[in-house]
Homo-oligomer: A and B are copies of this chain.
Amino acid sequence: MSNFLGSHAINMDAKGRLAIPAKVRESLAQACAGRIVLTANADEERCLLVYPEPEWEILRPKIEALPNMNKAVRRLQRLLLGNAAPMEMDSAGRILVPPTLRNYAHLEKKLMLIGQGKKLELWSEERWFAWLDESCGDEDMPPEMEALSL
């Protein structure tokens, strides 16, 4: 079972290629033999999601099956399904991010790749740091979280 952790600063070159860090590449190799699915994130943060293919294939039917009379559901479907792109790495372990997605997440040269357990998130560096600084807020948290002791 895949388990992505940690954050990595990476660069995208002029052709839109980005080199997956070697550590992550290993995790991906064993999680999905390098077959990944890249898509847009649905929440207010404009980042991309990177799923190992098997993980995506668990999630995809669930999204498709949601009753879509609801507006939030339609939004989720349009973003997640409508942006999904299967990817494979080149011989140097790089992937080519489609312009649509590059644009959606405002990706320029400097990016951050963030491990989130089953998946990874891909952020523009600028937006990632902005997000870190911003939301220190005391949002209300669910009881499961209040009970945690770090």
A contacts, CB < 8 Å to B: 5-9, 41-44, 49, 59, 62-67, 70-78, 80-86, 98-100, 104, 114-119, 121, 132, 135-142, 144-145, 148, 150
List the B side residues contacting A116 at CB < 8 Å: 77-78, 81-82
Interface of A is mostly: mixed
Could you say which of A74, A81, A98, A150 has the most chain B C-beta atoms within 10 Å of its C-beta?
A: A150
Knowing A78-B114, A82-B116, the reply to whether A100 touches B7 (Cβ < 8 A) is yes
Q: How many copies, total?
A: 2
Option from B49, B72, B98 in Cβ contact (under 8 Å) with A145: B72
The distance in angstroms between the C-alpha atoms of A121 and B65, with both chains bound, is 17
